[in-house]
């Protein structure tokens, strides 16, 4: 039976490599639609939790995991040899940057090599990891064809960018339109058919390169506009103008303007990273992406700006950063999620620590700081009490979680540096708050 028929009959087995913020919701979506699904990950603790019906992601609650386990449509495993049992394999692994801001495709390459070990005729392989245009054709395809099987004939290959937005209650995996582009026409058609079993709307494009480029465009668009408001925040601060009031005023225009909000820097896996992937690839074609690179530079400099504002705020009270006790509120990269990827709060904490500050943090969604590729802080979240707030020299708001009681925080704090405009309208914040 061919893949076409298996998908039509709901008998195709799907394997998802990488059970993080992208892979786990996708695997859950397929399994919830009664598609037999295997989740592959190199972390045995994740696999064990999922097979017990537990979770490690706020975006995929335990009830959802238990539901697909009861259906008998989902199993997690560290045994990549079981990729041979899958008719379609979807790769959802990280694509970080190196220290020199070049693309690090090691996770993608290792995953594709794992697929190649058991690749058989009729299998479909889809890459979802955000990357530069050409990765599927130029990196994944040659590795898979080293097996002697021919793409488009013996196996099929496509790209379909993830569009996850953790914490967004209005959009989740099954209702976000899915771009799908094949390396060849047959691969594209098969990938579209497969995703239609779990995703409501499929948007076909002419090639994998177009799908890759579309994802890059989406994130460059956001990066550039966030950089614009971050730069204006610095300029307007010097002018004594509240950038948040300016944005609110401009937002009353019913056309030609879309509000973007400033912050302490960019977080998440996409926006801080993807523009540099495109800039790197553009150099291969002799192009300089100055606009995109400038936006990246502005955004990556924001943690230093926040630290400079905190230093200024402490100085106004006759205190130095060295020896001051600073409480950081919220270290997730955005509100109401448990995602630490590329969070600017981590760099801010390191910068303050290097200056001699005693840094504490509270985040209701992150009980302790795990080791990341760039940071190993080894901190635990402190219980947020009036006593703790009164004991610190400054509170730094880096993530404005909805659960925070801003009235309580402001009334028990003597000095606040607010990067999110969280204290707007709080009477007890008057004369205490520095915007950063």
- Domain-embedded: residue 66: yes
Determine which one of 86, 92, 151, 270 is catalytic: 270
C-alpha span between 177 and 170 (Å, rounded)? 13
Check whether 269 has a pLDDT greater than 80: no
Q: In terms of residue numbers, what domain contains 150?
A: 3-212
Check whether 113 has a pLDDT greater than 90: yes
Burial track 199-210 (b if 16+ CB lie within 10 A, e otherwise) = beebeebebbbe
- Domain-embedded: residue 89: yes
- The residue among 177, 212, 247 that closes a domain is 212
- Which is more confident, 360 or 291? 360
- Domain-embedded: residue 154: yes
- Which is more confident, 292 or 270? 292
Same domain? 313 vs 205: no
Check whether 167 has a pLDDT greater than 80: no
- Record the tokens describing residue 121, joined without a space: 């005729």
Render pLDDT for 302-324 as a digit per residue (tens, 0 to 9): 999 999 999 999 999 999 999 99
Which domain CATH number covers 319? Answer: 3.40.50.720
- Domain-embedded: residue 200: yes
pLDDT value of residue 100: 80
Same domain? 194 vs 323: no
Query: With 0-12 CB in 10 A as exposed, 13-18 as middle and 19+ as buried, what is 99?
Result: exposed
Same domain? 142 vs 15: yes
Q: What mean pLDDT do residues 37-64 have?
A: 95
Lowest mean pLDDT segment, chosen from 34-48, 273-287, 320-334? 273-287
Nearest to 91 by CA among 158, 183, 137: 158
- Reported confidence tier of residue 390, pLDDT bands at 50, 70, 90: very high
Nearest to 6 by CA among 27, 32, 36: 36
Q: Which residues pair with 202 in a beta bridge?
A: 178
CA dihedral 287, 288, 292, 296 (to 10 degrees): 130
Same domain? 311 vs 175: no
Please provide the distance, in angstroms rounded to a whole number, between the alpha carbons at the two ends of the chain. Answer: 61
pLDDT value of residue 421: 96
CA distances 272 to 2, 88, 99, 108, Å, are: 41, 30, 14, 19
- The residue among 182, 212, 242 that closes a domain is 212
Query: Number of folded domains in the chain?
Result: 2
Instruction: Please say if 270 is a catalytic residue.
Output: yes
pLDDT value of residue 142: 98
Same domain? 305 vs 206: no
Write the DSSP string, 392-426. Answer: SSEEEE----TT--HHHHHHT-S-EEESS-TTTT-
- Domain-embedded: residue 218: no
Same domain? 64 vs 199: yes
Same domain? 199 vs 322: no
- The residue among 145, 179, 212 that closes a domain is 212
Residues 6+ apart with CB under 8 A from 12: 3, 6, 35, 36, 87, 88, 194, 197
Same domain? 7 vs 131: yes
pLDDT value of residue 169: 78
Please state the separation of Cα 6 from the chain's center in Å.
33
Same domain? 201 vs 346: no
Q: What mean pLDDT do residues 362-376 have?
A: 88
pLDDT value of residue 274: 80
Same domain? 60 vs 191: yes
- Domain-embedded: residue 225: no
Same domain? 177 vs 314: no
- Domain-embedded: residue 321: yes
Same domain? 202 vs 330: no
pLDDT value of residue 98: 83
Render pLDDT for 73-100 as a digit per residue (tens, 0 to 9): 999 999 999 999 999 999 999 998 888 8
Render pLDDT for 214-251 as a digit per residue (tens, 0 to 9): 999 999 999 999 999 999 999 999 999 999 999 999 99
- Domain-embedded: residue 388: yes
- Reported confidence tier of residue 118, pLDDT bands at 50, 70, 90: very high
């Amino acid at each position: 039976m061919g893949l076409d028929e298996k998908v039509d009959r709901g008998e195709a087995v799907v394997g998802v490599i990488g059970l993080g913020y992208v892979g786990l919701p996708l695997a859950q979506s397929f399994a919830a639609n009664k598609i037999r699904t295997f989740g592959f990950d190199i972390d045995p603790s994740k696999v064990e939790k999922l097979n017990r019906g537990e979770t490690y992601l706020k975006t995929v609650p335990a009830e959802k995991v238990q539901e697909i386990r009861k259906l008998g449509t989902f199993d997690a495993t560290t045994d990549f040899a079981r990729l041979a049992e899958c008719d379609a394999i979807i790769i959802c692994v990280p694509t970080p940057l190196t220290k020199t801001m070049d693309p690090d495709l090691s996770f993608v390459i290792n995953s594709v090599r794992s697929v190649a070990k058991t690749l058989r005729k009729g299998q479909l392989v889809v890459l979802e990891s955000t990357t530069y245009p050409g990765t599927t054709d130029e990196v994944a395809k040659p590795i898979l064809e080293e097996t002697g099987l021919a793409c488009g004939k013996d196996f099929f290959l496509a790209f379909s960018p993830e569009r996850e937005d953790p914490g967004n209650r209005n959009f989740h995996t099954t209702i976000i339109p899915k771009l799908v582009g094949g390396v060849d026409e047959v691969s594209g058609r098969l990938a579209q058919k497969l995703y239609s079993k779990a995703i409501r709307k499929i948007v076909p494009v002419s090639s994998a390169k177009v799908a890759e480029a579309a994802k890059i465009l989406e994130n460059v668009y956001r990066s550039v506009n966030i950089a614009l408001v971050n730069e204006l925040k610095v300029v307007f601060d010097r002018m004594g103008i509240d950038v948040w009031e300016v944005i609110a005023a401009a937002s009353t225009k019913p056309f030609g303007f879309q509000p973007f909000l400033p912050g302490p820097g960019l977080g998440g896996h996409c926006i801080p990273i993807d523009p540099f992937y495109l800039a790197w690839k553009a150099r291969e074609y002799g192009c300089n992406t100055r606009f995109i690179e400038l936006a990246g530079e502005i955004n990556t400099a924001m943690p230093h700006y926040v630290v400079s504002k905190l230093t200024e705020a402490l100085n106004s009270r006759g205190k130095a950063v060295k020896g001051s006790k600073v409480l950081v509120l919220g270290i997730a990269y955005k509100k109401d999620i448990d995602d630490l990827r590329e969070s600017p709060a981590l760099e801010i904490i390191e910068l303050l620590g290097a200056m001699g500050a005693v840094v504490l943090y509270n985040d209701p969604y992150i009980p302790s700081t795990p080791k990341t590729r760039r940071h190993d802080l080894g901190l635990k979240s402190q219980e947020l009490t009036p006593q703790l707030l009164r004991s610190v020299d400054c509170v730094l708001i880096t993530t404005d979680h909805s659960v925070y009681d801003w009235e309580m925080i402001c009334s028990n704090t003597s000095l606040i540096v607010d990067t999110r405009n969280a204290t707007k309208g709080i009477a007890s914040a008057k004369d205490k708050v520095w915007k950063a």
